[in-house]
Copies of this chain bind each other. A is one copy, B any other.
Amino acid sequence: MKSKYGQYCPVSLATEILGERWTILVVLVLADGFHRFSELERALPRISASTLSARLKKLEDAGVIERRPGESGEKFVYFLTPAGDELGQIVFDLGLWGHRWGRDLVTDDLDPEHLIWSMHMRMNTEIMPAQRTTIAFEFADQPVKKRYFWILAENKKVQACLKHPGFDEDLRVIARLRSLTYAWRGFVSLRDEISKGSIRVLGPAKLARAFPDWLLGSMLANQERMYPGRERDLQRSFRGEINSSAD
């Protein structure tokens, strides 16, 4: 059995479960409050259905998640057990570590669908209009298939759409994928990028002005990033890119 280490050490035992590809991320998504197979697939765009199925089974066997009968369409919904909740805290710590010490992002890390998915979970609905608000996102540098997405908010409920939702947009946000991702991660300030024009917000002035407050950003965006030397380089190269594309 490849996954065993031949050790009674508790770290080994934990690692047997978490060491397999994707497993930690599945726990993360469940801890984020998603419970359906399709939600997991959406949050983890590159996982294969069969792998996800296998991981859910293993996590269930390990006592990390519980499988309950589904209610509407889906066969099951998946919930963290108390053991899973404790694990979720560790996964969060790991995220903080990855934020502080993780490598710089490369193009292949960027994924518009996943970004939209993350953002729609962290909208400041308290200060958004109560009536339906449709925000269109256009990733100018992406191929057509990955260029257009929508986030709908209404009565403090937020929804992400991969297809045109059928009604007119209230705001349109146009940016390169990298710009919005960096703003999301907190590497650059959303407001700065908007005023510099690398992120454009089109629509009624009142909504456009309010938009930067709607987007809360990643939970970790306000956390300090280490290796400030690297970080400065990152921002410099990023800005250089923006400038050159604006020429």
Contact = CB atoms under 8 A, between A and B. Distances in A.
B181 A114 contact: no
A103 interface: yes
Give the one of A8, A28, A105 with max B CB within 10 A.
Answer: A8
Contacts of A14: 94-95, 97-98, 102
A86 interface: yes
State the majority secondary structure of interface residues on A.
Answer: helix
Interface residues on A, range: 35 or more
A114 B9 contact: yes
Nearest to A12: B25
B5 A63 contact: no
A83 B25 contact: no
A10 B96 contact: yes
A45 interface: yes
A70 to B, nearest CB: 26
A118 B9 CA distance: 9
A163 interface: no
A143 to B, nearest CB: 15
Given A8-B110, A185-B8, A24 B13 contact: no
A65 to B, nearest CB: 12
Contact of A101 (B4, B63, B99): B63
Interface string A73-104: 00000000011001101110111111111110
Interface of A: 2, 4-15, 18-22, 24-25, 28, 44-46, 62-64, 82-83, 86-87, 89-91, 93-103, 105, 108-111, 114-115, 118, 181, 184-185, 218, 220, 226-227
Given A10-B220, A62-B103, 6 more contacts: A6-B45, A10-B218, A11-B28, A83-B100, A90-B90, A90-B94
